[in-house]
Chains A and B, each alone.
Chain A
Amino acid sequence: MVLAGEIGVVQPIIKVDRISKNFGAFQCLNELSFEVAPGEKIALIGPSGSGKTTILRILMTLETINSGHIEVDGDQLYHVERNGQLVAADEAHLHRMRQKIGMVFQLFNLFPHKSVLDNVTLAPILTKKMKRADAERRGMELLDMVGMADKAKAMPAQLSGGQKQRVAIARALALSPKIMLFDEVTSALDPELVEEVLNVMRKLAAETDMTMLLVTHEMSFANDFADRILFFDGGRIVEEGKPGEIFRHPKQERTQAFLKKIIAAGQRI
């Protein structure tokens, strides 16, 4: 596991460089910059509307950017070099870059017409030309890891929210991305189902060297899970640091105010 202080030594796997993003007249991200080291587990926290989801969606190429550059695993994400100049990347380049990145959504986004196992095997079969038998073997391993092997034949509509989310995690893992993005993966779940998903995430963090970025409102989970916390407000990172620093000794007023509100709302950190 690589910690924040060591970034200078290791080449970052993600380099976000002065990204701005507007929705109409509203500036959602404002010259946002940060770097992530390979294998690092990062938690993005901050008030609603601060741009956390947007930056994950930008990394997954689900939004476009207005300015700035992003480097992923040594390559520009949204640009390619042509005659010494960086120009906007085409779909083929985005397709190559997406192989490095996977995402798990707040509302699971499972394919309702496909069985649990087919949800997991579809993309490897189509995009990696994996043989069905191999894809299914690997799919069953992943479903086993998230505790869903016995539901392999079920349809998504037969599952609880927590089960759906665990399947969605297995589905994203099936493509073996180097980077995984998690956007509030437990916030749509009934409280009693949150823990089963968090347990899967803990296991992932402990057992893999994948780089993980997660947006969460569960501060105690962010505290256990993350190597580093990025506190967002108004489309920028206001403060960053190790969980101990951010949660126990926040320096910025806005961070302090945010955490105070969270504690007042009844969360333990």
Chain B
Amino acid sequence: MDQWSGYLGLILQGAWVTIELTILGSALALVMAFLAGLGRLSKLAPLRWLATAYIEFFRGTSIFVQLFWAYFVLPLLGVPLSPLQAGVLALGLNVGAYAAEVVRGAVLSVGKEQYEACVALNLNRWQCMRHIILPQAFIVMLPTFGNNAIELLKATAVVSLISLADMTFQAQVVRSQTGNTLIPFATILLLYFAMASALSWGVRRLERKLARGLDGVRA
């Protein structure tokens, strides 16, 4: 029994790395999503091209290859990254490219009458975006952002390939040390599921909070 609690500790250490990757990766993805999503809607053509190139490139290549680039190729170009940094970078840029399209779609979903009200009230483009369009668009983005974050959580397992000791990596360790396959993999299955459930619960709560009052029902 003692031995098993040691192995569980190992997996929990891995779980913490997975959580770290998910939080940091999501934060980077969020920043990239807004930069690229709004970039694609910019009036300035170079910004639009840059944003489109980023989105197409990161959606069009595999997360494995992106991770290998971040970890193995960037050092050759003079940018050495720790496994955690490389993992966050690859995951954040990859998921950010998908989420950028969510930002763009949500911003476009806000009716043109809201922009017209901005003009009639003499708000400038940025004030209109910041105070009127984005707050409404954000509520539209949230559910898909939740899915994106869960995708990112699931994708964190790829970092075991650059020997970052995340939950999947530790499960492999336990398996090879104990020869038991079922217990470690059943444990991480449950843990991934618990994390994903916590994520979607949090996003749903935020959604409800932000949408309060919008439908005429006073919460």
Which A residues are within 8 Å of any B CB, using their own CB? 60-62, 91, 95, 98-99, 102-103, 105, 107, 109-113, 115, 122-123, 126-127, 155, 157-158, 171-172, 175
Contact = CB atoms under 8 A, between A and B. Distances in A.
B119 A111 contact: no
Interface residues of B, number: 21
Contact of A123 (B116, B122, B136, B213): B122
Interface in B119-135: 119-124, 127, 131-132, 135
Contacts of A113: 135-136, 139, 213-214
Given A105-B116, A109-B116, A127 B213 contact: no
Given A109-B113, A155-B214, A61 B119 contact: yes
B213 A155 contact: yes
The prevalent SS among residues of B at the interface is: helix
A103 B120 contact: yes
Given A99-B122, A127-B122, A158-B218, A111 B132 contact: yes
A22 to B, nearest CB: 20
Given A112-B214, A113-B136, A157-B213, A105 B123 contact: no
Contact of B116 (A62, A95, A126, A127): A62
A53 to B, nearest CB: 12
Contacts, number: 67
Interface of B: 113-114, 116-117, 119-124, 127, 131-132, 135-136, 139, 213-216, 218
A205 to B, nearest CB: 20
Contact of B120 (A60, A91, A95, A122): A60
Contacts of B214: 112-113, 155, 157
22 contacts: A60-B120, A95-B124, A98-B120, A99-B122, A105-B116, A109-B113, A109-B117, A110-B117, A113-B136, A113-B214, A122-B131, A123-B123, A127-B121, A127-B122, A127-B123, A155-B216, A157-B213, A157-B214, A157-B215, A157-B216, A158-B216, A158-B218
A117 B69 CA distance: 53
B122 A98 contact: yes
A23 B127 CA distance: 29
Shortest 9 CB-CB distances between A and B: which pairs?
A157-B216, A155-B213, A123-B121, A109-B117, A103-B120, A98-B122, A109-B113, A127-B122, A126-B127
B213 A102 contact: no
Contact of B117 (A111, A155, A158): A111
A122 B114 CA distance: 14
Nearest to A104: B120
A135 to B, nearest CB: 13
Contacts of A62: 116, 119-120
Given A60-B120, A122-B121, 19 more contacts: A60-B119, A102-B121, A105-B113, A105-B116, A109-B113, A109-B116, A109-B120, A112-B136, A113-B213, A115-B213, A122-B131, A123-B123, A126-B127, A127-B122, A127-B123, A155-B213, A155-B216, A155-B218, A158-B216
A107 B216 CA distance: 17
Contacts of B127: 126-127
Contacts of A158: 213, 216, 218
B130 to A, nearest CB: 9
B56 to A, nearest CB: 31
A124 B120 CA distance: 12
Contacts of A111: 114, 117, 132
Contacts of B122: 95, 98-99, 123, 127, 175
Given A105-B113, A155-B214, A126 B135 contact: no
Contacts of A175: 121-122
Contacts of B218: 155, 158
B208 to A, nearest CB: 14
Contact of A107 (B113, B119, B215): B113
A62 B215 CA distance: 28
Contact of A172 (B120, B124, B139, B215): B120
A9 B121 CA distance: 32
A109 B116 CA distance: 8
Nearest to A111: B132
A107 B120 CA distance: 14
B181 to A, nearest CB: 51
A232 to B, nearest CB: 21
